Each structure stands twice: as structure tokens, then as C-alpha cells.
Structure 1
Amino acid sequence: MQKLIIFLFSATIASSQNKETNKILEEGKLLFRLEKGSWYGTDDVLARFKNKKDSIGGYLSYETDFHQINTIFFSRYNSDEILVRYTFDSLPTVEPLKIDTTNNIASALEKSLILISLDARDRASSNDDKFFSFYENAALNFIPIIKEKEKSVFVLTGPQVGGVVLIGNDYKLSYNKKNELEKKVKIHNSILQFPYNLGDKANKTIQTYHSHIVTEYISSTDICTLLLYKNYVEWNKHIVIGKKEVSIFDMEKEELFTMKRKAWEKIAKNK
């Protein structure tokens, strides 16, 4: 029976990878790198440039042509003015490669990123159509991305208390060439909270689950969140169950596997 389970699992995974899941994984890792750059940049700017704190109007991170991560902090009085620039490696670490306070003029790319980021923030703040949801001890994080012909702002919900990971209450806003909003969608319909650990060393959590109704596969925002917190939680796999597909994300290896739900249920039944 064990051989049958292994065969079914291996064969299903081997044939399940496709362009869509590859794009999800790639996008999730990019969101993670951008958010990591923003985390480290924010920590440093608040510690190193205390005199600039009240002048900061916002921040964002983007990937350069050299696959490095730039994190910029722009002025609240003139969004085209960059107060501080950080350059991080492709996978940001605490120590930036470069800190620049002299190159104060935003590039064309930076101006577009700032505009769509501020637009998304304004829409969430006014929330005239009640599109966005807000939760206690949580805050919305905005990640603008411009790549090829696509302009988007991903909105994730992050915890403002320690010890928990939040999955869900995330959004994607799409913009046109003129930086005008074209479409906005909810990636999840709800929010879930997962503790870092159960406090029981003898019975550690090995993997966590949630179900998808809106989409079949795990989302890039799920992957981003899981990677951000993988060093804090005791579990190393997260499984997303869709109507027809099951996604298994290995946080340690940063690999995504998918299989048909029928095959997943058959394997689970034969365990």
C-alpha cells in the first residue's frame, strides 16, 4: 500500500506543473523579496534617519534590472522627492548594499509605482464601496508591481501582534498605462489566523491547511506570507484545497507542488 501511495503522489506531482502554477510561485517569491526589503528598509530608516521620520509620506520596494531590490522612502510634501534609497541584494538581508540620500528625484518607474500605491491606499482609506475589510490588530500592506505590460498593487493583511500568521483579506488592484484603476479583486473572501506553534513540543504542527473558493490554486500572496514567517513557525508545509486542485507549498524548500483533488483524496484515504 505504501508503494502505491508513493507512486500516485510522485506521478501526480510530476504531471501537474504548468505555466499558471509556475507564475504563482515566481510572483509569490517576488512579493516576498519586495516585502522583505520594505521590512529591513523601514527598520533602518527609523533607526538611522530619525530626523526624516515626520517627512516620510510612504515607501515601496521594486526589483531592478540587476535583480536587486530597491526600497525608497518618499516625501509626504512632494511624492516625486525621494528622501532615502536602499539597495538590497536579490534576497534582502538586514545589511543593505547601499544607502543613498543624494539622488532625490524619482525616476519614471518610481513615479508610476508611487502613484498607483498612493491610489490604492486612498481607496482603502476612504473605502466608499466597502470593498476592503479591516480587522483588529491587523493592518493593510501595499505592494505595487510593474512588470512587462502589467501594473498592479497587491494588498496583504499583516498582524500587529506577535505569534500569529494571517492568511487572507488580500486584494489585487490592476492599473492601465495611465496609472488609472481598471479592476480590483478579492483574492480571498475571508481571513484565517495560524499560531506560530501550539506550545506542545511533543506534538508539533507539521503542516497547515486552508480551502480556496475564489481560485483553484494557492495564491502568490499566500506564498509571500508563508515565506515571510517561515523562520518563526514550527510547521514547514502549507496545503491549499481548491474545488479540483490541491496545492502543497514546501516553505523550507520554497517549492510548490499541485495535484488533482481526486488524487489527493485517494492518497489520504489509503494512508
Structure 2
Amino acid sequence: MKTQKLLILILTLWTTNAYCQDGEIQTVRKQILEEGLFLFRLEKASWNSTDLLVKDHSTLVNQVAGYVSYPANDDTKTIFWNTDGKILFTVTLDSTGAENKSIVDVNIRTATQQEAELIKLRKDAFDFLTKNEDNFFAFYKNTSRNLVPFIKNDQRAVFILTASREKKLLIGNDYRLLFNDKNEVIKKEKLHNSLITINQDAKETNEVGSMHTHILEDHPYMTSTDICTFMLYREVFKLKNHVVISDKGTSIFESEKKNLIIVPQDRAMKK
């Protein structure tokens, strides 16, 4: 109940009152929001495409070696390849992401140059993850890893998300890997310090929202992976808002509006 009351207080203070944000915070807010919704777009396409594969083309499932989603103008494509690197199954979803509007191609083909680069990027990231030479990555029981590679504006990155195999919402234990044009890791970072579990039947995870705290200095506000995860599971958990609190301020994501609010700590104190 204490968590629920705190959420109500925070949302009342900040979502019902207008305030302005300075240029620096506005830039950070925009970057986090755009990246979070972009990750959600890719992951949602992967989810829906996998459902179509399992439901309508189950004979291909055992031949799949991996998958990746990528934007194609307003559409999002998901490709599934075999151990030879050939594309077995392609799903194209429009901007709505609806499965009933999907275009499915089951013709085996050679990957395009863009697809081949994404496949290699994902494979290299997976190898780096599984080697885990310095124990940088943490692994938990009853979880799986989702790798989300993308090449955008000359940036080559792979986000690593942790998903539950049970009916739980997991936040945290996520990472970002940055690569050079030779697919060598040039930076690795943890986006959260731990793994947070929210049970589907938890009484406090109702329509008010959910909340967690950040302690990593490099990521004091809500992360793009927070937004992606929340959007993926919000219908299952019936949550409208998510709040992140740190020493540097409060972040509020309004899922219905797809809006992110960041309130620096100094401004919060003045409120």
C-alpha cells in the first residue's frame, strides 16, 4: 500500500501540473523516449512474427537459428534464418503492428546486405555475451535473453534484455553494447544495477502504475529499455504509468500518451 500511495502522490504532483524543462533535460528526455519506442517497435515485431511462425508454420521452427527485426520505412520486417544463413521466413508488419495485416514470405532466399550485417552483429553480440570473460553479465534462472541489434546513423548497437519465462514483469539486468564498423565491442554498459521482479497478481501493480529506483550514476533517469519493457507488458499487467526515482530526479512514463516526463531533483524540491 505504501508504494501505491507514493505513486498516486507523484502522479498527482507532476502529471496534473504544467512545468517547463530546460534544454538539456529536454534533449535527454527526447533521446530516451525515441530510443525506447524504437526498441519497442522492434521487439513487438519480433513477438508478433514469432507467434505467426509458431502458429501457422510450425514445421519451420526447428530450422530457425535466429531472428532479427528492423525498420523498412514505415513497416517493420522480421527475418528468421537457418544455420546456413539463409532466410527461411520473413514477416512484414505495417505501422500498426497488427498480425492480421502482416505479409508473410516463406520462400528461402539470400539475406540482403542490410540483413547480413544485422545477422552478423547479433551473432557477434551473442558470442560476446556467452563468453562473458570478465563476468560482466549476470544470468538468472527462469529467464531468457533477448538481443536487439540495430544499425542507425552509423551507430552499431545491441541491447540485451532479460525476459521472464513465468508470468512476471522483469525490469533491469539489461545492457547496451556499442560496436565499431569491424563489429568489435568498443563499449559495454549496464543500464541497471540489478533485476527487479513485479508479479502479475501483485495487488499494488494496478492501474495506478509501477515504480522502481535507479542508483547507477550514468543512468539516473528512466532508460529506453524501461520504456520498451513497460510497453511490451503494459496490457498484461494493466499498468498505465511507470515511475523511476533517483538522486537526480523523477521520471514518469505515461504509456497511453507515449510521453516521458523528467523532473530534476532541484526542481522537484522547489515544487
* Structure 1: gaps spanning 5 or more residues: none
* Mapped partners of 1:50, 1:61: distance in 2: 19
2:31 is aligned with 1:26: no
2:227 is aligned with 1:223: yes
* Mapped partners of 1:239, 1:6: distance in 2: 11
TM-score by length of structure 1 reads: 0.87
| Paired residues of 2:169 and 2:199 also in contact (CA < 8 A) | yes
> Could you say what the CA RMSD is over the residues aligned between the two structures, in angstroms?
2.3
Alignment of 1:35-54 (within 5 A): 35-54=43-62
Count of matched residue pairs: 257
Identity of aligned residues (%): 35
User: How far apart are 1:204 and its partner, in Å?
Assistant: 4.1
Match of 2:208 among 206, 209, 231: 206
Match of 1:247 among 226, 251, 254: 251
User: How far apart are 1:8 and its partner, in Å?
Assistant: 9.8
Match of 1:87 among 89, 92, 97: 92
Match of 2:160 among 152, 155, 161: 155
2:81: which partner in 1?
74
- Report the 3-state secondary structure (helix = DSSP H, G, I; strand = E; otherwise coil) of the residue aligned with 1:128: coil
* Structure 2: gaps spanning 5 or more residues: 1-12
Alignment of 1:70-219 (within 5 A): 70-76=77-83, 78-79=84-85, 81-102=86-107, 104-162=109-167, 164-199=168-203, 204=206, 206-214=208-216, 215-219=219-223
Per the alignment, do residues 171 and 115 of structure 1 end up closer, same or farther by CA in structure 2, a change over 3 Å counting? same
Per the alignment, do residues 91 and 8 of structure 1 end up closer, same or farther by CA in structure 2, a change over 3 Å counting? closer
1:88-115 CA distances to partner (integer Å, 9 max, x unpaired)?
Answer: 0124122243111226111111111111
| Paired residues of 2:206 and 2:237 also in contact (CA < 8 A) | no
User: How far apart are 1:125 and its partner, in Å?
Assistant: 2.0
| Paired residues of 2:122 and 2:147 also in contact (CA < 8 A) | yes
* Mapped partners of 1:249, 1:70: distance in 2: 27
- Report the 3-state secondary structure (helix = DSSP H, G, I; strand = E; otherwise coil) of the residue aligned with 1:231: helix
* Mapped partners of 1:107, 1:253: distance in 2: 36
TM-score by length of structure 2 reads: 0.87
| Paired residues of 1:35 and 1:143 also in contact (CA < 8 A) | yes
Give the residue type in structure 2 aligned to 1:72.
I
2:67 is aligned with 1:59: yes
Per the alignment, do residues 241 and 12 of structure 1 end up closer, same or farther by CA in structure 2, a change over 3 Å counting? farther
